[in-house]
Protein backbone atom coordinates (compact mmCIF):
# COMPACT_ATOMS: atom_id res chain seq x y z
CA UNK A 1 0.00 0.00 0.00
CA UNK A 2 1.28 3.43 -0.95
CA UNK A 3 1.47 6.28 1.56
CA UNK A 4 0.14 9.66 0.50
CA UNK A 5 0.85 13.08 1.87
CA UNK A 6 -2.71 14.25 1.79
CA UNK A 7 -3.48 17.45 3.65
CA UNK A 8 -6.76 19.31 3.89
CA UNK A 9 -7.04 22.58 2.04
CA UNK A 10 -7.50 24.51 5.31
CA UNK A 11 -4.36 22.98 6.82
CA UNK A 12 -2.38 23.75 3.66
CA UNK A 13 -3.50 27.39 3.70
CA UNK A 14 -2.68 27.76 7.40
CA UNK A 15 0.77 26.26 6.79
CA UNK A 16 1.39 28.64 3.89
CA UNK A 17 0.31 31.68 5.93
CA UNK A 18 2.68 30.69 8.72
CA UNK A 19 5.63 30.04 6.42
CA UNK A 20 5.18 33.30 4.50
CA UNK A 21 4.48 35.39 7.64
CA UNK A 22 1.12 36.53 6.23
CA UNK A 23 -1.01 35.61 9.23
CA UNK A 24 -1.05 39.14 10.72
CA UNK A 25 -2.19 40.64 7.43
CA UNK A 26 -5.06 38.17 7.24
CA UNK A 27 -5.99 38.87 10.86
CA UNK A 28 -5.92 42.62 10.24
CA UNK A 29 -8.22 42.27 7.22
CA UNK A 30 -10.61 40.09 9.23
CA UNK A 31 -10.65 42.59 12.12
CA UNK A 32 -11.44 45.46 9.74
CA UNK A 33 -14.22 43.43 8.14
CA UNK A 34 -15.85 42.46 11.43
CA UNK A 35 -15.27 45.74 13.30
CA UNK A 36 -18.77 47.15 12.78
CA UNK A 37 -20.46 43.86 13.66
CA UNK A 38 -18.38 43.48 16.83
CA UNK A 39 -18.23 47.08 18.03
CA UNK A 40 -21.43 48.54 16.65
CA UNK A 41 -22.27 51.08 13.99
CA UNK A 42 -21.59 54.20 16.09
CA UNK A 43 -18.08 53.06 17.05
CA UNK A 44 -17.33 51.98 13.46
CA UNK A 45 -18.50 55.35 12.15
CA UNK A 46 -15.96 57.16 14.35
CA UNK A 47 -13.11 54.71 13.70
CA UNK A 48 -10.63 56.14 11.23
CA UNK A 49 -7.87 53.51 11.28
CA UNK A 50 -7.35 49.92 12.43
CA UNK A 51 -3.87 48.43 12.34
CA UNK A 52 -2.48 45.15 13.67
CA UNK A 53 1.25 45.32 14.25
CA UNK A 54 2.74 42.09 15.60
CA UNK A 55 0.24 41.25 18.34
CA UNK A 56 -0.87 44.81 19.12
CA UNK A 57 -4.09 46.29 17.75
CA UNK A 58 -4.01 50.06 17.15
CA UNK A 59 -7.38 51.76 16.75
CA UNK A 60 -7.71 55.45 15.86
CA UNK A 61 -11.00 57.23 16.51
CA UNK A 62 -12.05 60.82 15.82
CA UNK A 63 -13.97 61.40 19.04
CA UNK A 64 -12.32 62.13 22.40
CA UNK A 65 -15.23 60.85 24.55
CA UNK A 66 -15.36 57.64 22.52
CA UNK A 67 -11.58 57.28 22.78
CA UNK A 68 -11.86 57.52 26.55
CA UNK A 69 -14.68 54.96 26.68
CA UNK A 70 -12.82 52.52 24.44
CA UNK A 71 -9.64 52.97 26.48
CA UNK A 72 -11.39 51.51 29.53
CA UNK A 73 -12.82 48.65 27.42
CA UNK A 74 -9.51 47.53 25.91
CA UNK A 75 -9.45 44.11 27.58
CA UNK A 76 -13.00 43.33 26.52
CA UNK A 77 -12.25 44.47 22.95
CA UNK A 78 -9.19 42.20 22.89
CA UNK A 79 -11.17 39.21 24.18
CA UNK A 80 -14.06 39.72 21.72
CA UNK A 81 -11.70 40.13 18.74
CA UNK A 82 -9.71 37.02 19.68
CA UNK A 83 -12.91 35.04 20.17
CA UNK A 84 -14.25 36.08 16.76
CA UNK A 85 -10.92 35.29 15.08
CA UNK A 86 -10.68 31.94 16.83
CA UNK A 87 -7.06 32.67 17.66
CA UNK A 88 -5.00 34.54 20.23
CA UNK A 89 -3.90 37.14 17.67
CA UNK A 90 -4.29 40.32 19.76
CA UNK A 91 -2.38 40.68 23.03
CA UNK A 92 -2.98 44.38 23.63
CA UNK A 93 -5.21 47.15 22.28
CA UNK A 94 -4.11 50.77 21.94
CA UNK A 95 -6.69 53.50 21.35
CA UNK A 96 -5.67 56.77 19.68
pLDDT at 88 over 80: yes
- Band of residue 25 on the pLDDT scale cut at 50, 70, 90: confident
Per-residue model confidence (pLDDT) at position 10: 84
Residue 18 in 3-state DSSP? helix
List domains and CATH numbers for the chain: 9-95 (3.30.300)
Per-residue model confidence (pLDDT) at position 41: 96
Per-residue model confidence (pLDDT) at position 4: 73
**Cα 83 from Cα 85, distance rounded (Å):** 5
Per-residue model confidence (pLDDT) at position 3: 65
Give pLDDT tens digits for 44-82: 999 999 999 989 999 999 999 999 999 999 999 999 999
**Cα 92 from Cα 74, distance rounded (Å):** 8
Q: Note whether 17 and 26 are within 8 A (CB).
A: yes
Amino acid sequence: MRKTNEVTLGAAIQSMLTELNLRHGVYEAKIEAMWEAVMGRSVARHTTKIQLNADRLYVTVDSAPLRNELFYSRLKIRDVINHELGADAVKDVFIY
